[in-house]
Amino acid sequence: MRLQNEVALITGAGSGIGRESAFLFAAEGAAVVAVDVNLPAVEAVAADITAAGGKAIAIKADVSKAADCEAMVAAAETTYGKLTVLFNNAGISHADDDDAMSTTEAVWDLTFAINVKGVFLGCKYGIPALQRAGGGSIINTASFVAILGAATPQLAYTASKGAVLSMTRELAAIHARQNIRVNALCPGPLRTELLMKYLNTEEKKQRRLVHIPMGRFGEAAEIAKAALYLASSESSFVTGSEFLVDGGITAAYTTPL
């Protein structure tokens, strides 16, 4: 098993990438701390993992709140004795996120509170735990839009994911000699609720698909497999990376003319 004896805390574990990663990490031997603001959702995830013979607990946390982030890390160490994998995955894309003129300050602040401050707070309390464990892996969910910019205006989301990318680079440099690796996972367009709620007609889906060389949306389970690689010792010489899993979209649109 690729995560035998590891303890993995995953935020946003109630749905999408986080949910699929929780199941996969547990199947690969990790004890999983499944965290989400939606407690019933992560309780169901933890119950399914334990029913299958794995180890998991469910924790309710709002990652924009320091006390919640401190408590989720403490729960991992109290329950399993250590923390070795931190997957800062929780994030939002607000329906009213638009261009600079249309996006309200409230939408901007909320997006940054969860997508950026949430990663910062996860690391603030998670890194000391990884240090106590002798090292480990941190995975921060960014996005391909941190590199390309979005095809349709979603300024707060795009800017927040750019911040995650730059924060990841600095954290990787700071902690590289402490046996702590920090990488940004950058998914492309996925068939998840986060995106499909916007692409709610076939016409809208096709307008997005035409830009993806592979001609389809990615699946949350595919991103979970990339997260598994970054969590495992197989990526032992990988840190500070922009780990793109995007169906070729950045290759197509960052190629010089």
pLDDT range class, residue 85, cuts 50, 70, 90: very high
Residue-wise pLDDT for 100-113, tens only, equals 999 999 999 999 99
| Interval 188-230: pLDDT, tens | 888 777 665 666 666 666 667 778 888 888 999 999 999 999 9
Q: Residue 137's beta-bridge partner residues?
A: 85, 181
What are the tokens at 251? 């290759």
Average pLDDT for 35-41:
98
Q: What CATH number belongs to 7-189+218-253?
A: 3.40.50.720
DSSP-assigned beta bridge partners for residue 186? 244
Residues marked active site are found at 157
Handedness of CA 215, 220, 221, 224 (dihedral sign): positive
Say if CB 8 and CB 73 are below 8 A apart.
no
**Cβ distance 96 to 104 under 8 Å?**
yes
For residue 196, the model assigns a pLDDT of: 58
Mean pLDDT confidence for 72-93:
98
The reported pLDDT for the residue numbered 253 is: 81
Whole-angstrom distance, CA of residue 113 vs CA of residue 17: 20
Rounded to 10°, the helix 220-231/16-27 angle is: 50
Under 8 Å between Cβ of 187 and 169: no
| DSSP structure class, residue 236 | T
Res. 83: pLDDT tops 70: yes
Check: CB of residue 174 under 8 Å from CB of residue 124: no
Q: How many CB atoms lie within 10 A of CB 67?
A: 11
Return the percent helix, strand and coil in the chain, to nearest 5. 50, 15, 35
Q: Distance between CA atoms of 36 and 40, rounded to whole angstroms?
A: 9
Beta pairing partners, 7: 31
Helices 155-175 and 117-133: crossing angle in degrees, nearest 10, is: 20
257 has pLDDT over 60: no
pTM confidence score: 0.95
Nearest-CA neighbor of 159 among 247, 93, 245?
Answer: 93
